Structure 1
Amino acid sequence: MSRERLLEHVDRMQEAAQQAFDLTEGMSQEQFLHDIRTQLAVTMSLVLVGEAAARISAGDPGFIQDHQEIPWTRIKGMRNLIVHDYYRAELPVIWQTVRTDLPALVSQLENVRHWRVQGE
């Protein structure tokens, strides 16, 4: 995979993760559990994060090995659950992922992007 394409996928992951977080800003878990529009928007954002991760994994397995701090398997697993078995997805788990895990992921992706831009 070209460097430009790899960075594009990293950017897409970061943008979709930030969007999912932003969509829930100012909401309580209870509000989220009763807001179908936000649930659908957030789950679509998580699908986009997972899809970009899957493309990186398929196109540049070495990159995945170099950046094991990112939970690639869990990201792709959540994407697969949402896409293939949406009704089994547990909304409290999605809420926790968005509010707790995504800010760290956005930061990790920012670090990875700068690492790659520097060519190290």
Structure 2
Amino acid sequence: MKRSEVSFLKDIIKHADKIRAYLGGLEFYEFEQNERLVDVILRNFEIIGEACDKVTQKTKDENPHIPWRNIKGMRNMIVHEYWNVDLKIIWNVYEQNLDGLQRDINHIIDHIIMTEQFRRGDS
């Protein structure tokens, strides 16, 4: 079954929410010392990267401020170079970029839904 672009975008929001819930209130040293937590966080970032890859080129072109290529690149590093993942970079992405990404993705979802409703003639 083919999934809609909005479904993939919602996956990004869902897994970003999970990361925030798991890491909220923790310090970096608590994160890096907890192997299970590291595994969970890396898996959620992997899913975010894969979901970003499923977003249409049109949406990516309309939102060049989102670092689509970097997000996919981080996913590729986690999957294909797992031995070389720098947890400080993962932590910095969580602290510095995740909120903005969620905000931007929510705007895209809203725009897509409004555009679809307009095309159907919904009010």
Give 1:21-100 correspondences, 5 Å limit. 21-56=20-55, 60-100=56-96
Is 1:113 aligned to 2:104, yes or no? Answer: no
User: Unaligned 5+ residue runs, structure 2?
Assistant: 119-123
How many Å separate the matches in 2 of 1:115 and 1:105? 15
User: Unaligned 5+ residue runs, structure 1?
Assistant: none
Percent identity at matched positions?
Answer: 22
Aligned-residue RMSD, C-alpha = 1.4
Please give the per-residue CA displacement for 1:43-68, whole angstroms capped at 9, x wherever unaligned: 00000000001111xxx211110111
Write the letter of the residue equivalent to 2:95. R
How many Å separate the matches in 1 of 2:83 and 2:20? 21
Contact 1:21 1:99 in 2 (8 A): no
* Superposed structure 1 runs of 4+ greater than 3 Å apart: none
TM-score (norm 2): 0.88
The alpha-carbon deviation at position 19 of structure 1 amounts to 1.0
Tell me which residue corresponds to 1:101.
97
TM-score (norm 1): 0.90
Is 1:20 aligned to 2:19, yes or no? Answer: yes
- CA radius of gyration, larger in: 2
How many Å separate the matches in 2 of 1:101 and 1:87? 23
Q: Aligned residue pairs: how many?
A: 115
How many Å separate the matches in 2 of 1:38 and 1:104? 23
How many Å separate the matches in 2 of 1:42 and 1:61? 27
Secondary structure of the structure 2 residue equivalent to 1:50: helix
Contact 1:18 1:103 in 2 (8 A): no
Higher RCO, Cα 8 Å, sep 6+: 1
How many Å separate the matches in 2 of 1:69 and 1:21? 22
